[in-house]
């Protein structure tokens, strides 16, 4: 009789071998299914890459949640959201998709963590912007609050302003977060320019305002363009208005029938260039053209406030009596009564000069400023011109007149 039990058990047994073979086949099938379900476009270490991108998106969310960054770059939070989406996809494709829900929940919590932390932590302020008033007399600081789930910051704000590192003003003023715009709630503090101004702002001389309220503080560099008010350079020029034929007396073919007066007022620049404009400067300008100590043209005093110039036009003798300087350059044209298209300005006719004979003329422009914009020291620019006859040859009478800039009289 055959011992079937012994046969089955000897050398592993036929039944045992069949079971092992079946297990081997099942493992191959499972492995094949797993390999088929994995996305062939993903790298082998896609799981770790996805985890790394998830952490990166969280760090960026914390960084970009700063109120000042959100104010300057409204849509910057889209970046961490895009990175987290890629991270979710890579992790999802690398693991069993039944974990998709928990993975998404974890990423959402991580991205929301900076905003949740700010909403339950103590409030802090951030100065996000400064704006100049329409009359250029004050600067408005926009201050945002982060945190403050249980209330908003309010109370007396301690404010100080430094210029080139030295404190130039300090004071207390009431503050509250009581306004709203597309970016959220904010409060406003107003600084009077005349109170804080000491000198022109530039890269090496900055105005820095510091605000402390309810135990939280922030500092902000004020816009240099708003705090450039002191004139440092003045230039001028006199252009001849030329006439021909019937315009001229004494048989001249060409003659000087008037002059156009120009001045440039602003900041010192490189030699050969006109001064840089001062859009918000206040100053007084006087211009005189004289010959041998006698005034030929004494232009009315020009007063400039916030870039707007005004003077007595004397019923049109001196143009319209209004002008603008600083918006598009430092040029201020001192108009006369007659338009000349070649000069692109109104000139002062020679007949209106108190002295109009041939000779050397001096044109002087003087600019002064009162404190705090200046110390009343005049900035003076002087140019010289020779009015002469020319053109005659071999004893023939001169046929032309000329207006030539010279080095002095």
Check whether residue 54 and residue 172 sit in a common domain. no
Check whether residue 241 and residue 263 sit in a common domain. yes
Check whether residue 182 and residue 259 sit in a common domain. no
Strand partners, 348: 259
Instruction: Determine, yes or no, domain membership for 218.
Output: yes
Dihedral over alpha carbons 27, 29, 32, 33 (to 10 degrees): -110
Check whether residue 131 and residue 222 sit in a common domain. yes
Instruction: Determine, yes or no, domain membership for 2.
Output: no
Q: What is the DSSP letter of 227?
A: G
Strand partners, 173: 157
Q: Which residues, in sequence order, are CB contacts of 346 under 8 Å at separation 6+?
A: 260, 319, 335, 336, 337, 338, 339, 340
Instruction: Determine, yes or no, domain membership for 350.
Output: yes
Q: Which of 270, 242, 266 is nearest to 255 (CA)?
A: 242
**What tokens were used for 210?**
């510091």
78, 94, 120 — which closes off a domain? 120
Instruction: Determine, yes or no, domain membership for 289.
Output: yes
The CATH number given to whatever domain includes residue 130 is 2.60.40.3110
Q: What's the rounded Cα separation, in Å, for the pair 331 and 405?
A: 19
Check whether residue 269 and residue 222 sit in a common domain. no
Check whether residue 212 and residue 331 sit in a common domain. no
pLDDT at 109: 67
Check whether residue 200 and residue 316 sit in a common domain. no
Check whether residue 259 and residue 197 sit in a common domain. no
pLDDT at 297: 97
Percent of the chain with pLDDT over 70: 74
Question: CA 260 from chain center: how many Å?
Answer: 35
168, 195, 227 — which closes off a domain? 227
**What tokens were used for 184?**
């959220």
Check whether residue 269 and residue 357 sit in a common domain. yes
Instruction: Determine, yes or no, domain membership for 27.
Output: no
The total number of structural domains in the chain stands at 3
User: Where is 172: in which H helix or E strand?
Assistant: strand 166-176
Instruction: Determine, yes or no, domain membership for 360.
Output: yes
Q: What's the rounded Cα separation, in Å, for the pair 242 and 240?
A: 6
The CATH number given to whatever domain includes residue 316 is 2.60.40
Note the pTM of the prediction, 2 decimals. Answer: 0.69
227, 250, 273 — which closes off a domain? 227
Instruction: Determine, yes or no, domain membership for 185.
Output: yes
Q: Are 336 and 318 in contact (CB under 8 A)?
A: yes
Q: What's the rounded Cα separation, in Å, for the pair 252 and 269?
A: 42
Q: Which of 126, 136, 137, 21 is nearest to 70 (CA)?
A: 126
Q: Which of 294, 342, 303 is nearest to 321 (CA)?
A: 303
Check whether residue 152 and residue 191 sit in a common domain. yes
Mean pLDDT by groups of 10 residues along the chain of 409 residues: 43 51 47 45 68 75 64 66 74 65 68 60 79 95 74 82 95 89 86 96 94 89 96 97 88 92 95 92 97 96 95 95 91 96 95 95 98 94 95 72 95
- Domain range holding 93? 38-120
Q: What's the rounded Cα separation, in Å, for the pair 101 and 88?
A: 10
Instruction: Determine, yes or no, domain membership for 186.
Output: yes
Check whether residue 341 and residue 390 sit in a common domain. yes
Check whether residue 71 and residue 178 sit in a common domain. no
């Amino acid at each position: 009789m055959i011992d079937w039990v012994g046969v089955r058990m000897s050398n592993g047994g036929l039944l045992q071998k069949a079971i092992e073979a079946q297990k081997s086949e099942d493992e191959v099938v499972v492995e094949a299914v797993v390999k088929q379900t994995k996305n062939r476009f993903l790298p082998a270490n896609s799981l770790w890459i996805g985890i790394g991108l998830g952490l990166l998106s969280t760090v960026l969310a914390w960084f970009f949640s700063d109120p000042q960054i959100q104010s300057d770059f409204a849509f910057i939070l889209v970046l961490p959201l895009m990175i987290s989406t890629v991270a979710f996809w890579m992790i999802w494709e690398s693991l069993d998709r039944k974990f998709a829900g928990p993975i998404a929940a974890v990423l959402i919590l991580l991205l929301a963590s900076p905003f949740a932390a700010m909403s339950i932590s103590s409030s802090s302020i951030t100065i996000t912007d400064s704006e100049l008033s329409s009359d250029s007399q004050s600067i408005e600081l926009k201050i945002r609050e982060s945190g403050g789930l249980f209330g908003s910051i309010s109370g007396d704000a301690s404010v100080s302003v430094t210029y080139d590192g030295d404190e130039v003003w300090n004071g207390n003023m009431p503050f509250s977060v009581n306004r709203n715009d597309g970016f959220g709630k904010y409060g406003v503090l107003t600084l009077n320019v005349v109170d804080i101004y000491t000198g022109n702002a530039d890269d090496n001389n900055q105005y820095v305002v510091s605000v402390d309220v309810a135990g939280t503080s922030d500092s902000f560099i004020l816009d240099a363009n708003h705090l450039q008010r002191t004139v440092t350079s003045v230039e001028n020029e006199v252009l001849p208005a030329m006439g021909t034929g019937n315009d001229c007396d004494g048989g001249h073919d060409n003659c000087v029938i008037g002059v156009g007066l120009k001045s440039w007022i602003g900041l010192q620049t490189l030699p050969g260039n006109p001064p840089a404009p001062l859009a918000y400067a206040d100053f007084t300008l006087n211009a005189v053209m004289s010959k041998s100590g006698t005034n030929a043209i004494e232009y009315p005093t020009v007063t400039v406030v916030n870039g707007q110039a005004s003077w007595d036009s004397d019923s049109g003798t001196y143009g319209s009596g209004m002008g603008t300087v600083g918006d598009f350059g430092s040029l201020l044209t001192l108009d006369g009564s007659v338009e000349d298209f070649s000069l692109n300005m109104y000139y002062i006719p020679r007949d209106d000069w108190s002295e109009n004979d041939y000779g050397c003329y001096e044109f002087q422009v003087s600019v002064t400023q009162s404190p705090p914009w200046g110390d009343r020291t005049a900035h003076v620019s002087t140019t010289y011109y020779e009015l002469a006859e020319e053109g005659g040859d071999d004893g023939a009478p001169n046929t032309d007149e000329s207006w030539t800039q010279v080095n002095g009289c």
